[in-house]
Structure 1
Amino acid sequence: MAAAAGVSLSTASRVLNGSTRTVAPEYAEKVLAAAAALRYTADASARAMRRASDSIALVADDLTTASISLVLAAMEREARSVDAFVTVASTGGTPSRQLETVRLMCAMRPRALVLTSSRLDTDLLQGRLLRELLAYQRDGGRVVIFGDTDMPFDAISVDNRASAAPVGSYLAKAGHRRVTIVAGAADRANVSDRAVGFTDGLIAGGVDSDDIRLVHCDVSREGGFAAVAGLLAHGPLDTQALVCANDAIAIGAMSALRAAGLRVPDEVSVTGFDDIPLATDVTPRLTTVAVPLARIGQDAIRLALGDHDEPRRTTEHGALVLRDSTRSRV
């Protein structure tokens, strides 16, 4: 190929493999003309054997949520800006599948590996996941975790408890005295921390702990609908506010209230968490906590492609956004 084009092997390689190093236009034209004449195509598998690919692998608990979709979209945009791309896999949050998926992804030699999970600890599966990640890092890969972790890698987390407390404080100040927290799954660290934060704010604002009800459900719109429908099945809803662990749960809760003929916020205030795009499309528009999900996705890629030795840790905070789904009772 190089001989046919009359250029060096390195020049031919740069043109055909999409190197970021500039090749003079006249030489690039010669290489492409020779490739067309010889019907040359790059051997992707051979390239992968020589070096890590340009892919960044995302391993997530659940790829169907609106929040992770925002993170993934931002990751993809940032990766494309540096001629990389993102591959994705879902684990369902099951430790054994997390390990299996990480092993599979590492075998494909991505440039970096980003894991998103509510909590990843060093002793998970007796440390087997940690050992797999450390081996991948020793081979030249980089690991970034989005979630709470004590593993020795770059990490971005959200202070869910501190971010949730202002929701409780606001509702208490607005006169809500009987509150139900629709908390999501008890075994999910992120939503559990939010439930604690909601409670912190409510109690600090003067709400009696006996008047705060905690209800668990699937972390989804369907889970929120089912949780509130279950409450309504036992009689009139004895609460002034539904404080939901994320926006999807809140949207499901509002659907259940609407189906029962209850008006939001006239009869019941509803709040969410995350500030997904749908939060402003529903009626009434949802009061929620805005989490910088797009920035988190962008920063995850920057960490993954960065050149630093010591692990970097970033903690993000959400901000309360008041909309139409809540009202004052004072």
Structure 2
Amino acid sequence: MPHPARGTVTLHDVAAEAGVSLATASRVLGGSSRTVAAGLRERVRAAAERLRYTADASARAMRRMSDSLALIADDLTTPSMAVVVSAMEREASTAGAFVTVSATRGDPERQLETIHRVRALRPRALVLTSGRVSADALAGRLLAELRAYEHDGGRVVIVGDTDLPFHSVGFDNLGAARVLGRHVAEKGHRRVAIIAGARQAAQSARTTGFVDGLRTGGVEESAVRIVHCEVSREGGFDAARRLAAEGLDGTDAILAANDLIAVGVLRALREAGVMVPRDVSLTGFDDTRLAVNVTPRLTTVALPLAYAGTEAIRLALGEPDAVTHVTVEGRLVVRDSVR
């Protein structure tokens, strides 16, 4: 399918707009190691932004979008993201497109820089996968960069919580976590620790849902302890080891923000001589392969991760139409780790 061309903006145009020499503009936008005064640097970058200039290295001679799809994710090392990316690649291949992947660690500045660089490759669509993407991020600069890419003929899809005016695929983390929290409470648990991961939107929604579900099931909010950690096995291990060292103080259940953290928690408890679920119940979230490859198998929430990845690519490659927001729900999976 043909894509709209954009007018060619050259480095000469940017230099003229900024009122600087061509050499200065080239040093600022071409990654030169030579130092340029801060004032001149800002003028060149502002001019480039106004003119929507990108250093179009691989597509300078092209006048239409390529058949690539750019995926920009927070973290490519988690099992859940592996499922999403795999589904995206399968769906893209059916349309004759291929996926390029970049990681930003969820840092808005890195997201902005990556989007700007990816625009130079003129991908057909850009899929931004992140725990939370806000319209006011970086004082609106992230939104402006995405709008400029869309103006050039690209399609933007967000996977995750967002208020941006683009196609999106989100997860009902709040509702799914509420169901899991209530299940744990209804099994008779009354003192609960939540290993909440980092202070990000996805984990925050899950934490809120856990607490709501526990309260609905009869747990006093004062009996719920929230611990933040790195979103990794090591993060879960360190958080649980600290809990065990301090004394669990009657804690009879631990709810982890995802399966990866839960596996780290399980190891730390085992090393401390605390048995799951005999002494403490444990739950995960996402239902990745990790959940069934440990002993005991984890009670968790299954999110349709592959469906989310597939749906994101369908939106990216679909016909132009009204902005679509898709929300996918989780499903409680009861296994062996809850007493």
TM-score, L = length of structure 2: 0.81
> Aligned equivalents of 1:114 and 1:163: distance in 2?
24
Q: Quick one: percent identity of the two aligned structures? A: 59
Question: Are the equivalent residues in 2 in contact too, given 1:58–1:88 (CA < 8 A)?
Answer: yes
Which residue of structure 1 lines up, in the alignment, with residue 122 of structure 2? 109
Match of 2:336 in 1: 324
1:141 aligns with 154
Contact 1:114 1:144 in 2 (8 A): yes
Q: 1:48, 1:109 within 8 Å by CA — same for their partners in 2?
A: no
- Between the aligned partners of 2:333 and 2:302, the Cα distance in structure 1 is 7
Q: For the Cα contact (< 8 Å) 1:172–1:206, is it kept in 2?
A: yes
Q: Residue 279 of structure 1 is aligned with which of 287, 291, 295? A: 291
Q: Would you say 1:258 and 2:270 are equivalent positions? A: yes
Deviates more, 1:50-59 or 1:176-185: 50-59
Where does structure 1 lack aligned partners over 5 or more consecutive residues? 1-43
The 1:48/1:283 distance shift into structure 2, 3 A limit, reads: farther
Q: Which residue does the alignment assign to 2:214?
A: 202
Whole-Å separation in 1 of the counterparts to 2:273 and 2:204:
30
1:53-81 superposed Cα distances (whole Å, 9 cap, x missing partner) = 11100001111111111000000000011
Task: State how far apart, in whole Å, the 1-side matches of 2:194 and 2:59 are.
Answer: 54
The aligned counterpart of 1:235 is 247
How far 1:107 moved relative to its partner? 1.0
Shift of 1:50: 3.7
Is 1:150 matched up with 2:163?
yes
Q: Spell out the pairing of 1:1-330 with structure 2 (5 A cutoff).
A: 45=58, 49-186=62-199, 188-327=200-339
Asked if the contact 2:73/2:102 (under 8 Å) is kept, the reply is yes
Please state how far the C-alpha of 1:120 moved relative to its aligned partner: 1.0
SS in 1 for 2:197: coil
Contact 2:59 2:122 (8 Å CA) reproduced? no
Between the aligned partners of 2:137 and 2:91, the Cα distance in structure 1 is 30
Distance 2:59 2:215 in 1: 62
User: C-alpha displacement at 1:228, in angstroms?
Assistant: 0.5
Shift of 1:293: 0.2
- Report the Cα distance in structure 2 between the residues aligned to 1:289 and 1:48, rounded to whole angstroms: 49
Question: CA 1:46/1:103 → structure 2, altered by over 3 Å: closer, same or farther?
Answer: closer
Separation (CA, whole Å) in 1 of partners of 2:155 and 2:235: 36
SS in 2 for 1:183: strand
Contact 2:159–2:170, Cα closer than 8 Å, also in 1: yes
Give the letter aligned to residue 298 of structure 2.
Answer: L
Q: Distance in 1 between matches of 2:317 and 2:83?
A: 20
Query: Aligned equivalents of 2:304 and 2:140: distance in 1?
Result: 31
Alignment correspondent of 1:9: none
CA distance in 1: counterparts of 2:287 and 2:117, whole angstroms: 33
Whole-angstrom CA distance in 2 between matches of 1:317 and 1:45 = 40
CA distance in 1, matches of 2:238, 2:275: 18
Runs of 5+ unmatched residues, structure 2: 1-56
- Give me the whole-angstrom Cα distance separating, in 1, the residues matched to 2:329 and 2:216: 20
Structure 1 segments of 4 or more deviating over 6 A? none
AA aligned opposite 1:318: G
Distance of 1:278 and 1:46 partners within structure 2: 41
Q: Measure, in 1, the Cα distance between the counterparts of 2:320 and 2:68.
A: 19
Aligned length: 283
Q: Which has the larger radius of gyration?
A: 1
**Which residue does the alignment assign to 1:36?**
none
| Structure 1 CA distance for aligned equivalents of residues 152 and 248 of structure 2 | 60
Q: Aligned partners of 2:282, 2:247: CA distance in 1, in Å?
A: 19
Contact kept, 8 Å, 1:160 with 1:197, in 2: the verdict is yes
